[in-house]
């Protein structure tokens, strides 16, 4: 049979394998938005004719929340395509990373990624060395306001009149979430735990960028505990 993509296509939103009805990609994507090698195809859909022969991986996304992460809204869904020749390009490395964060880690697209690519995705950059540093929505002033509004001073620390500064480090992931919160310098167990709790629950940041790619960034912060008069 000619011009047939695959008999199987992974539907991310259903978590199931579904028959593709032996249709070429140019037909399957007729009413869908298409992302090829990390870029949205806006015009000239003739580009898809014959593309089946050079595709390494393709998948359909119909979950609305997941589509928003790609900056696309289409009730018919998105077809994400990665070609063999561009599999290791920065755009596709970033695309694969995004798919991993969406829970597609076991998909065939990741089986042949060299260790060097995986290492680059896992690398944590220092805050001071990044071209575009991560930023909390509204800036650091807004972040400290968030801390102030959400910290609950532990009762045992209040009774003991313990005050001080807890020093933490954490990683701002490529999707802006906070992970790997670590205590660098503590004051009192309950104060330390409260600082870790509030920082871990932080709203998402605007992630850092290096060489036009989203990267993981490590950041240190002081969380101050002071009793009022």
- The predicted-structure confidence for 53-83, as pLDDT tens digits, reads as follows 677 777 777 777 777 777 777 887 887 888 8
This prediction has a pTM of 0.51
Tell how far CA 83 is from the center of its chain: 22
> In the predicted model, what is the mean pLDDT of residues 210-221?
85
With pLDDT > 90 as the criterion, what percentage of the chain qualifies?
Answer: 34
Q: What is the 3-state secondary structure (H, E, C) of the chain?
A: CCCCCCCEEEECCCCEEEECCCCCHHHHCCCCEEEECCEECCCCHHHHCCHHHHEEEEEEECCHHHHHHCCCCCCCCEEEEEECCCCCCHHHHHHHHHHHHCCCCCCHHHCCCCHHHHHHHHCEEEHHHCCECCECCCCHHHHHHHHHHHCCCCHHHHHCCCCEEEEEEEEECCCCCEEEEEEEECCCHHHHHHHHHHHHCCCCCECEEECCEEEEEEEEEEEEECCCC
Asked if pLDDT for residue 172 goes beyond 80, the answer is yes
Closest CA to 207 of 197, 219, 215, 195: 215
Could you give the domains of the chain? 8-114 (no CATH), 127-225 (3.30.2420)
Longest dimension (CA), the chain: 81
Q: How confident is the model at residue 193 (pLDDT cuts 50, 70, 90)?
A: very high
């Amino acid at each position: 049979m000619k011009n047939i993509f695959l008999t199987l296509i992974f539907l991310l939103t259903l978590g199931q394998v579904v028959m593709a009805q032996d249709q070429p990609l140019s037909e399957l994507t007729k009413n869908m938005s298409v992302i090829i090698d990390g870029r949205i195809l806006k015009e000239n859909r003739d580009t898809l004719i014959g593309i089946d022969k050079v595709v390494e991986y393709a998948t359909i996304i119909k979950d609305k929340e997941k589509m928003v992460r790609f900056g696309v809204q289409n009730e018919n869904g998105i077809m994400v395509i990665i070609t063999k020749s561009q599999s290791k390009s920065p755009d596709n490395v970033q695309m694969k990373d995004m798919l991993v964060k969406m829970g597609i880690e076991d998909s065939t697209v990741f089986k042949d990624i060299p260790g060097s690519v995986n290492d680059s995705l896992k690398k944590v950059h220092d805050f001071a060395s990044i071209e575009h540093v991560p930023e909390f929505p509204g800036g650091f002033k807004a972040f400290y306001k968030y801390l102030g509004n959400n910290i609950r001073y532990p009762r045992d620390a209040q009774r003991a009149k313990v005050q001080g500064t807890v020093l933490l480090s954490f990683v701002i992931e490529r999707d802006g979430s906070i992970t790997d919160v670590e205590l660098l310098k503590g004051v009192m167990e309950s104060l330390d735990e409260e600082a870790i709790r509030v920082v871990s629950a932080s709203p998402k940041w605007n992630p850092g960028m290096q060489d036009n790619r989203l990267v993981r960034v490590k950041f240190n912060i002081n969380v101050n505990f002071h009793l009022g008069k």
